[in-house]
């Protein structure tokens, strides 16, 4: 059925059992993003740590209200970026952004996006792309703030 | 409650709406339950607009040729139709706007302009100590313009609350509407709750203290007979696209003496009497408030829409929607884990139903419905304060109109049940 192309099992699993959910200390930056059309909200914190090749995403924690797509997408995001260098994580974010803008025509690189390839179907539904991007945009914002603010906070 | 529905045949009505024949999402028949968002358009409206462009197109009020005369007559004819539709004293009380948001902003900005000018505009002037009263069930378009006006003038914004069952909480009316109140602006029928408010009662209280009354009738004018005299309002706004007409045109009705005294909103072509480099004088209402080239074809479409709805009959439409409403309320009540936002009884209530499904987000409910060809809206429906009042960020909303059927209500109920199972 058509619905299943959007609601992949991976998405429903992450929605029902979200990873890394809940706000945690310590953190370097916290942001609050909303989807003004539907009222979905996410508060997201990023903790960076120093690594040999630059800053590393040490933790991403979040809380929010939202639909299955936005909740699952944020959960998948945390799996993908925690532990990665900021530069590498930003490239994953770019790849996800490209996938979501592909209108269903994207060929996602599973090596880069892992579980996030499940969202390929969502890119066919313009009204839901913002849902899928809510947590990712919040993470990018928070990470940029954390990187600019230094690691000492 | 019973309404006269003599001669109403939904199957015949549906034949007037070409879009209802199309399929969506892999061949499923369209079940359009999003008319509170925008209504579908009958062939009569589409044809009237095509005919205007094919046969009469010209600019109005300024073209000195036959087409210009025809276009002007068509545009001004729409004003006469709208005046008659609302029971206005005459057509000079009808101002065309872009939509109802602009109609409300017209009043708000005119009051703001009055606050920095003198003379006849005195009664529209606002300052610190003055109060504007709205309600917690307003659309953002009847909240934000007043917030902005209060910021500009130092006036205070106050509001009626909403009861748990989705009715206007009038318990504090005596304190809320007082000698400091300059304007009361409220919705006739809520775009979320469906509640039809006792506008007359509020208007009388406002007038007793010398306040003006604006009624947002966007969700009532398409669905029930509305007479500006019966409402007892000073300003009434609605928008064409929710009453089978095109987007791009709305109506502000106001008592003529108010339009005479109010300062202009937008300045520009055709709203003037005389312009010199040192200053300008303005046209008589309603033209004083219609700057620049107006949406002419849209006025023609609005005219056709109002004629269409009148021909079907608003009493019959209301009766038909009442049947859909009671059928839907019964169907939803029979579903476990579904909560209606707003009155669960059909009295003083329109056929717009916002609801919540336990453990399934409104976006996901609407996505499942969409997969079955059922179009609803999910979100806060531009009424975020109202959703916060009920402690939720969003809801799913099904809204019915003259072309909907009880079979479509049944499809909705089945679709919600499916959504529950899908996300269980």
Q: What is the CATH number of the domain that holds B353?
A: 3.90.1150.10
A69-106 CB burial, b ≥16 within 10 A, e <16: bbbbbbbbbbebbbeebbebbbebbebbbebbeeeeeb
Task: Write out chain B residues lying below 8 Å of A12, CB-based.
Answer: 423
Task: With CA atoms as reference, report the closest residue to B395 among B319, B321, B332.
Answer: B332
**Domain-located, residue B228:** yes
- B213 and B171 within one domain: yes
Same domain assignment for residues B330 and B396:
yes
Whether A41 has its CB under 8 Å from any CB of chain B: the answer is yes
| Closest Cα in chain B to A128 | B363
A134 touches chain B (CB under 8 A): no
In a domain, B3, yes or no: no
The ipTM of this complex is 0.89
pLDDT exceeds 90 at position B5: no
pLDDT over 90 for what percent of chain B?
A: 95
pTM of the prediction? 0.94
Q: Are residues B175 and B234 in the same domain?
A: yes
Residue B156, SS3? strand
Reply yes or no on whether B244 is catalytic: no
Is any Cβ of chain B less than 8 angstroms from the Cβ of A68? yes
Taking the alpha carbons at both ends of chain B, their separation in whole angstroms is 38
Question: How many alpha carbons fall within 13 Å on the CB side of residue B280?
Answer: 15
Instruction: Compute the nearest-CA separation of B379 from chain A (Å).
Output: 4
pLDDT, residue A6, reads 87
Average pLDDT estimate for B40-63: 96
Model confidence at A152, in pLDDT bands (50, 70, 90)?
Answer: very low
- Does A38 lie at the interface with B, CB-CB under 8 angstroms? yes
Measured CA to CA, the distance from residue B209 to residue A104 in angstroms comes to 60
Q: Are B108 and B94 in contact (CB under 8 A)?
A: no
* B190 and B64, same domain (yes or no): yes
| B287 and B371 housed in the same domain | no
- Domain holding B228, by residue range, is 49-310
Mean pLDDT of B231-240: 98
Q: Considering the domain boundaries, does residue B300 fall inside one?
A: yes
B156-206 residue pLDDT tens: 999 999 999 999 999 999 999 999 999 999 999 999 999 999 999 999 999
Least confident of A86-95, B61-70, B124-133: B61-70
Q: What residues of A are in contact with residue B140 (Cβ under 8 Å)?
A: none
Per-residue confidence band for A5, with pLDDT thresholds at 50, 70 and 90: confident
CA distance linking residue B54 with residue A152, whole number of Å: 70
Domain boundary among B310, B333, B349: B310
| Count of structural domains, chain B | 2
For all residues of chain B together, what is the average pLDDT? 96
B368: nearest CA in chain A? A3
Q: Chain B contacts of A66, Cβ < 8 Å?
A: 361, 393
- The answer to the question of residue B237 being in a domain is yes
Contact yes or no for B93/B254 (Cβ under 8 A): yes
Segment B366-392 shows an average pLDDT of: 96
Domain membership flag for residue B390:
yes
């Amino acid at each position: 059925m058509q619905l299943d192309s959007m609601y992949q099992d991976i998405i429903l699993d992450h929605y029902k059992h979200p990873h890394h959910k809940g706000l945690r200390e310590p953190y370097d930056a916290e942001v609050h993003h909303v989807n003004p059309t539907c009222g979905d909200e996410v508060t997201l914190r990023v903790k960076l740590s120093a690594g040999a090749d630059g800053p590393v995403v040490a933790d991403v924690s979040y809380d929010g209200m939202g639909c299955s797509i936005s909740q699952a997408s944020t959960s998948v995001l945390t799996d993908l970026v925690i532990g990665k260098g900021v530069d590498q994580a930003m490239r994953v974010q770019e790849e996800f952004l490209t996938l979501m803008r592909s209108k269903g025509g994207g060929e996602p690189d599973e090596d880069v996006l892992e579980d996030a390839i499940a969202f390929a179907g969502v890119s066919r539904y313009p009204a839901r792309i913002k849902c899928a991007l809510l947590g990712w945009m919040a993470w990018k914002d928070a990470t940029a703030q954390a990187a600019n603010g230094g690691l000492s906070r | 409650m019973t309404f006269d529905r003599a001669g109403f045949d939904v199957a015949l009505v549906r034949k007037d709406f070409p879009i209802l024949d199309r399929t969506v999402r892999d061949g499923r028949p369209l079940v359009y339950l999003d008319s509170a968002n925008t209504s579908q358009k009958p062939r009569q409206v589409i044809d009237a607009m095509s005919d205007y462009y094919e046969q009469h197109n010209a600019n109005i009020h300024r073209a000195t040729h036959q087409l210009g005369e025809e276009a002007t007559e068509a545009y001004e004819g729409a004003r006469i139709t709208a005046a008659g539709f609302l029971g206005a004293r005459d057509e000079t009380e009808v101002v065309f706007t872009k939509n109802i948001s602009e109609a409300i902003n017209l009043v708000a900005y005119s009051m703001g302009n009055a606050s920095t000018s003198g003379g006849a505009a005195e009664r529209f002037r606002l300052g610190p100590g003055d109060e504007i009263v709205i309600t917690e069930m307003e659309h953002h378009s009847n909240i934000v313009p007043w917030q902005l006006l209060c910021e500009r003038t130092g006036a205070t914004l106050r509001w009626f609350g909403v009861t748990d069952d989705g009715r206007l909480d009038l318990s504090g009316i005596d304190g809320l509407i007082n000698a400091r109140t300059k304007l009361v602006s409220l919705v006739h029928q809520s775009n979320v709750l469906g509640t039809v408010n006792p506008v007359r009662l509020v208007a009388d209280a406002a007038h007793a203290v010398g306040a003006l009354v604006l009624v947002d009738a966007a969700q009532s004018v398409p669905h029930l007979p509305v007479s500006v005299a019966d409402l007892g309002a000073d300003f009434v706004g609605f928008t064409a696209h929710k009453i089978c007409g095109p987007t791009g045109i709305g109506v502000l009705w106001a008592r003529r003496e108010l339009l005479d005294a109010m300062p202009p909103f937008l300045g520009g072509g055709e709203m003037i009497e005389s312009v010199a480099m040192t200053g300008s004088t303005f046209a008589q209402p309603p033209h004083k408030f219609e700057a620049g080239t107006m949406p002419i074809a849209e006025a023609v479409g609005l005219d056709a829409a109002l004629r269409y709805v009148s021909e079907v009959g608003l009493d019959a439409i209301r009766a038909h929607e009442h049947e859909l409403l009671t059928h839907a309320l019964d169907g939803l009540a029979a579903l476990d884990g579904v909560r209606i936002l707003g009155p669960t009884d059909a009295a003083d209530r329109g056929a717009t139903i916002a609801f919540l499904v336990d453990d399934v987000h409104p976006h996901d409910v609407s996505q499942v419905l969409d997969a079955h060809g059922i179009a609803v809206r999910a979100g806060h429906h531009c009424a975020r304060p109202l959703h916060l009042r009920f402690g939720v960020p969003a809801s799913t909303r099904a809204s019915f109109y003259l072309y909907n059927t009880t079979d479509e209500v049944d499809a909705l109920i089945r679709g919600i049940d499916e959504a529950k199972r899908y996300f269980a």
